[in-house]
Structure 1
Amino acid sequence: MIGKTISHFTILEKLGEGGMGIVYKAKDTKLDRFVALKFLPHFLTANETEKARFLQEAKAASAINHANVCVIYDLQEHESQQFIVMEYVDGSTLRDIISNSAPRKLDLRSVMNFAFQIAEALQVAHEQGIMHRDVKSENIMVNTKNQIKVMDFGLAKLKDSLKLTKTTSTLGTVAYMSPEMIQGQGVDARSDIFSFGVVLYEMLTGQLPFSGDFEAAMIFSILNEEPDPIHKFRPDLSSEFLHLLNRALEKEPENRYQSMKDLLIDLKRVNRDQSKSDNQPGLVTKSKSIASLGNLQKRKFVLFLSIGFSAIIAILMIVIFMIQPASSPPPITTLLTSYIGSETYPAISYDGKKFAFTWAGEKQDNEDIYIKLIGEEGLQHLTTEPEWEYCATWSNDGNSIIFIRGGEAPGIYRKSLLGGRETQLYSFNSPIFYADMIPKFSPDGQSIAFARYYSYGIRELFVVHLKNHYLQQLTFDKKEINDLAWTPDGHNIIFSSDRGGIAQLWRIRSKGGQPELLDIGGYNARSLSISRNDQRLVYEMGDEKQNIWRANIRDIDSGVIKPYRFISSSKSDCFPVYSPDGEKIAFMSNRTGIREIYTCNSDGTELIQITSLSAHSGVPKWSPSGEFLIFESRLEGNSDIMIVDALGRIPPRKLTNHPSDDRMPSWSADGQYVYFSSNRSGNYQIHKIPIRGGEAVQITTQSGFCGYESSNGKKFYYKKYMDITGPIYEINFENGEDTIAINDVCFSTVNWILNAEGIYYVSRNEKNDQVLKLFRFMTNEIEQLGELEEPFALSDVSDDFKYILFFLNEGYSSDIYLVDFYQ
């Protein structure tokens, strides 16, 4: 492989090899940077399970955005061999640093510095439902700036995802494994906390807390023995530090720190107080205290026996055992579909034995209704019309499917599973976009639950009681609701919502109460359905994928613009914009599960998350000075305009605080004002507000959604709301005239940008091909720059007029999962 060029990567050297991949250092010839390429080993390429585990690594790692986690740039395939393109870390493993410091130990300041970074990386992962499961010093890199990079999420487990790990194999390095992992029990974030404790002990002492000459001996040590007292190696540690380490290494998960967040709080407190500590030699080691406690308990028990209480104790134990409720088995999550494309809108039959869903088929040419028996191969292709069919539900007798069809004859239809012609039950006169949605009858037929649309990203859950027409609102927090289902007893409603930051499953009492997050459903769980016996639930889990592309405007081939993928992840990255000096790019991404604002260098390196609002945020714009970013955010449900320091040092603050939706911000040329579109007057209009606070002033009268001030501050250009193919308008601030500036098809409301040279916009030519055009201010003429072969969304042009940034919707992919023994 050395010296070989794959795609635009030249292989330079082999960096290492593990059970899940071979890693090479490579040169990215397009972006002129070093990267690391991780290939699935050749002997595993034919194994679909191993490929799936490899993909899970990429998905897990790319979902985490943190300075101390190795960045995943892309996932590609070469000659049927998949590989991950990741950040190249110039440095050493933590294991090597510890070894090289022997016989001296790492100084306490270095230990604390490394510990903070590792803990913060794991905390971010855990908060996204991702456990690493292979935390060890070999998987932690330290770069030349002493920055930690947690590597190798090859064993990472996305919460409630398909269980790909082989139950017959012992994974991870045994010395760092938690007792529950060794014993094959279920693991969660607390297992990573134990492994972190092992790494912390190793950094402090230069050796591992548990020892053994072979694997069985090591396992015995972890399960039964206690580490050597750490004060024997580090008498400089405070008793609080020793307590922290002991708690992290507790053998029972319930006795450990329950979250990395709690551990971090104690770690910071210990670091603050360490200099004040009296340097006591430490606590009595756990092995001695447990042994002493055991002896004491034995003596007490003998005493009880001697005075004749054993019979009473035995009777009490029997009574307690008899009245203690039996524990329910945990729900089991199973992948039901993993076909090409997306499987959506699952509906489980009332007996829980089969389910209906929408799929575009092997050819991905038409979305139809399919039926599948759970646990068996094969599909029944129920509908075959060329229109889109979706939202299937089962008839009461279980012999027919009722569904919605779009196309030329939209409506509600019914078709028997036994064959025959379908029947149209209801005809739609026109498409409905915004209304009361997802109506679901209660099991007794006396109530209907539904989601009421308020604005983009905001739906509330309601129940209407048919007997007295009483309308009851159940949710009040201005979040999205994707789907809902009644539990068979009618006492609860399960619904999908992003109120926790990402789409997950929630439960609320049908008579009212607080929503409760369920520990089933996993990441981005959307459409759902429950069997009538209350034992099975199916749900759809998927992601929309958008990537940022870049094109060299001076390198147009035969009239065609050739963008290349520039910034990508397994999630959506979009709306990129250059900083005024061209050194940075800001963009929005949901790689942490919800849309936040990020920046990176102009070559795509040094990714930094600027906002952590846990609220949909996007459409960033740099201030003329490059010091600030403005963006829209749904921090309180409705959209407000916010401003943040471009380095992320100061928390964001609101510029607008109105119950309306304030969107699509842009700067005035002097940086003193911010323009935005708001529906506060009833329909969307452009408003202007001082950057230092004050009242917003409306500047458009007909309509306005997206606009920019000219570089000289004398004019304002804008598009009207929902005017997809309409012209671009111009307001002359000197005389107040509002006229058409570009009377051409400007495709999409936001698919255009303005700079000192002119207005770049996406249009259509006479062949209806998508083309990029430039309206030059100097000549007042329109110039066609080139065709676009994909439906790229224009986002920005560099100030040197060399590069164009686009983003491209590269599809939505989803699968259907089953939760068994649902309670």
Structure 2
Amino acid sequence: MNIRTSSSLQPRPVVAPVPQKLTDLEFEPRDLQMSPAGDRVIFSAGTDQPLRRELFSLSMTDGAVTQLTNREVNLSWHPSISPDGQKIAYVVEKQGRSDLQVMNIDGSGNVNLSDNNKGFWSPAWSPDGKNIITTSRDTERGNLELVQFAADGTSKAQVSKVGVSTDTPQFSPDGQNIVFALAPGFGPQVLASMSADGSNLKTYSRTVMLVDEPVVTEDNKILFSGSTRDGHYRLYEVAIGSDEEPKLLVDGDRAISPRLSPDGSKIAYVDKGGNGRAQIFEANRDGTEPRQISPDEGYSVSPVYTPDGKKLVYISSREGDREIYSQNIRN
């Protein structure tokens, strides 16, 4: 195996201030999404027994939590905020069947983009806000492929025709490419990309398997959590269209959920902390100087940056129940 390396430094101790608790929720939060303006966080919350999940908005100014959906379904989840911060695309699911919907950021003006219960997951907006890419079985052969909708519901088109399952699509910032997970047969997921029109399918390393949702940077590189045969999860980087092996950025233990800071200089991610449980970390863009951000109390996951890059908002069980916290990370 030939993996190019950048950093294998051990994370430094926590140096960030104490986290601030933002919520006192009845149900456990998931799916954190920061608005482009930084004025609110959209998330899902609910219960597993009975299965129910709705979308909520957390104000970053006064801490108010507002319920956005009250659908007669099992799940309203997978929220994705439009680039202008005015719309939310999300998935509604009932008894294992799901559809794609869009609403205003305040929960009003809900529009069904699909109404056939064919199965939809992981919506993501195009950079210009005109289209939404998702994975769906609403395809020619019923395979889980990439399907693109006009955000106003006027059109729909199947983008991929690869014949195997796809997941977690993301547009590149220039809108020219789509990066996604490809799952051949029943094997592990492989990192893949294609042009926005469905041409130029490209798969990447066969020795580093994709663990979770990839991130595409402004310079058309892909940040992702990958695993090898040793069972560890590490953070890697590869340029879109490259034939080279991914470059190792963070030599972690269970490093997942990479998020790029607004100025592109840092990476926030989740890894095993000093207490042996998931915690929030941050490293330089090249993987150097990793440091643990969240304290060793409970576990912490799902980091998102505020637009100024000075805070991380994340989910933590540091006081028992899972709640949303904010933490200053800059002096």
TM-score calculated relative to the size of structure 2: 0.63
Q: Distance in 2 between matches of 1:573 and 1:626?
A: 21
- 1:708 Cα offset (Å): 2.2
SS in 1 for 2:276: coil
Summarize the Cα distance change of 1:656–1:567 in structure 2 as closer, same or farther, 3 Å threshold. Answer: same
SS in 2 for 1:727: strand
Which blocks of at least 5 consecutive residues in structure 1 are unaligned? 1-6, 9-29, 32-72, 76-340, 343-542, 556-561, 811-823
Q: Distance in 2 between matches of 1:771 and 1:657?
A: 38
Give the letter for the 1:720 counterpart.
G
Summarize the Cα distance change of 1:739–1:593 in structure 2 as closer, same or farther, 3 Å threshold. Answer: closer
Quote the sequence identity (%): 17
- 1:628 Cα offset (Å): 1.1
1:649 counterpart (135, 146, 154): 154
Q: Distance in 2 between matches of 1:719 and 1:677?
A: 12
- 1:787 Cα offset (Å): 5.6
- 1:595 Cα offset (Å): 2.2
Give the letter for the 1:645 counterpart.
A
1:590 counterpart (93, 101, 115): 93
SS in 1 for 2:85: coil
Q: Who is 2:210 aligned against? A: 704
Q: Distance in 2 between matches of 1:616 and 1:654?
A: 14
Q: Who is 1:742 aligned against? A: 250
Contact 1:728/1:746 (8 A) holds in 2: no
2:169 counterpart (658, 661, 665): 665
Q: Are 1:620 and 2:128 an aligned pair? A: no
Summarize the Cα distance change of 1:753–1:595 in structure 2 as closer, same or farther, 3 Å threshold. Answer: farther
Q: Distance in 2 between matches of 1:659 and 1:803?
A: 39
2:181 counterpart (633, 657, 677): 677
Q: Who is 2:133 aligned against? A: 630
Structure showing greater radius of gyration is 1
Give the letter for the 2:79 counterpart.
P
For each residue in 1:675-730, what CA deviation from the matched residue of structure 2 results, as whole angstroms up to 9, or x when unmatched? 122133865322221112324121233223532221122x2212236998611111
- 1:639 Cα offset (Å): 1.0
1:610 counterpart (113, 124, 128): 113
Contact 1:595/1:616 (8 A) holds in 2: yes
Give the letter for the 2:267 counterpart.
I
Give the letter for the 1:623 counterpart.
S
Contact 1:546/1:574 (8 A) holds in 2: yes
Q: Distance in 1 between matches of 2:284 and 2:183?
A: 32
- 1:671 Cα offset (Å): 0.5
**After the TM superposition, which residues 292-441 of structure 1 pair with which residues of structure 2 at under 5 Å, given as runs?**
none
SS in 1 for 2:154: coil
Q: Distance in 2 between matches of 1:787 and 1:587?
A: 32
Q: Are 1:580 and 2:83 an aligned pair? A: yes
State the number of aligned residues: 266
Give the letter for the 2:250 counterpart.
I
For each residue in 1:129-159, what CA deviation from the matched residue of structure 2 results, as whole angstroms up to 9, or x when unmatched? xxxxxxxxxxxxxxxxxxxxxxxxxxxxxxx
Q: Who is 2:226 aligned against? A: 720
Q: Who is 1:730 aligned against? A: 237
2:275 counterpart (767, 788, 809): 767
Q: Distance in 1 between matches of 2:284 and 2:206?
A: 27
Summarize the Cα distance change of 1:704–1:798 in structure 2 as closer, same or farther, 3 Å threshold. Answer: same
- 1:627 Cα offset (Å): 1.4
Contact 2:280/2:293 (8 A) holds in 1: yes
Q: Are 1:694 and 2:199 an aligned pair? A: yes
SS in 1 for 2:210: coil
Give the letter for the 2:178 counterpart.
V
Contact 2:204/2:245 (8 A) holds in 1: no
- 1:613 Cα offset (Å): 3.6
Q: Distance in 2 between matches of 1:642 and 1:777?
A: 32
For each residue in 1:388-427, what CA deviation from the matched residue of structure 2 results, as whole angstroms up to 9, or x when unmatched? xxxxxxxxxxxxxxxxxxxxxxxxxxxxxxxxxxxxxxxx
- 1:640 Cα offset (Å): 0.4
Q: Distance in 1 between matches of 2:237 and 2:122?
A: 22
- 1:615 Cα offset (Å): 1.4
Summarize the Cα distance change of 1:684–1:594 in structure 2 as closer, same or farther, 3 Å threshold. Answer: same
Q: Distance in 1 between matches of 2:224 and 2:245?
A: 13
Summarize the Cα distance change of 1:625–1:683 in structure 2 as closer, same or farther, 3 Å threshold. Answer: same
Give the letter for the 2:183 counterpart.
N
- 1:602 Cα offset (Å): 3.2
- 1:745 Cα offset (Å): 4.1
Contact 1:578/1:797 (8 A) holds in 2: no
For each residue in 1:37-81, what CA deviation from the matched residue of structure 2 results, as whole angstroms up to 9, or x when unmatched? xxxxxxxxxxxxxxxxxxxxxxxxxxxxxxxxxxxx999xxxxxx
- 1:632 Cα offset (Å): 0.7
Summarize the Cα distance change of 1:638–1:717 in structure 2 as closer, same or farther, 3 Å threshold. Answer: same
Give the letter for the 1:729 counterpart.
Y
Q: Who is 2:17 aligned against? A: none
Q: Who is 2:31 aligned against? A: none
SS in 2 for 1:665: strand
For each residue in 1:337-361, what CA deviation from the matched residue of structure 2 results, as whole angstroms up to 9, or x when unmatched? xxxx95xxxxxxxxxxxxxxxxxxx
Q: Who is 1:545 aligned against? A: 52
Summarize the Cα distance change of 1:696–1:726 in structure 2 as closer, same or farther, 3 Å threshold. Answer: same
Give the letter for the 1:646 counterpart.
A
Q: Distance in 1 between matches of 2:296 and 2:86?
A: 26
Contact 1:753/1:794 (8 A) holds in 2: no
Contact 1:567/1:573 (8 A) holds in 2: no
Give the letter for the 2:167 counterpart.
R
Q: Who is 1:600 aligned against? A: 103
- 1:618 Cα offset (Å): 1.0
Q: Who is 1:479 aligned against? A: none
Q: Distance in 2 between matches of 1:789 and 1:584?
A: 35
Q: Distance in 2 between matches of 1:548 and 1:784?
A: 30
Q: Distance in 2 between matches of 1:663 and 1:616?
A: 12
Which blocks of at least 5 consecutive residues in structure 2 are unaligned? 1-23, 26-38, 322-331
Give the letter for the 2:130 counterpart.
E
Contact 2:298/2:316 (8 A) holds in 1: no
TM-score calculated relative to the size of structure 1: 0.28
Q: Distance in 1 between matches of 2:114 and 2:316?
A: 21
Identify the structure with bigger relative contact order (alpha carbons < 8 Å, sequence gap 6+): 2
SS in 2 for 1:720: strand
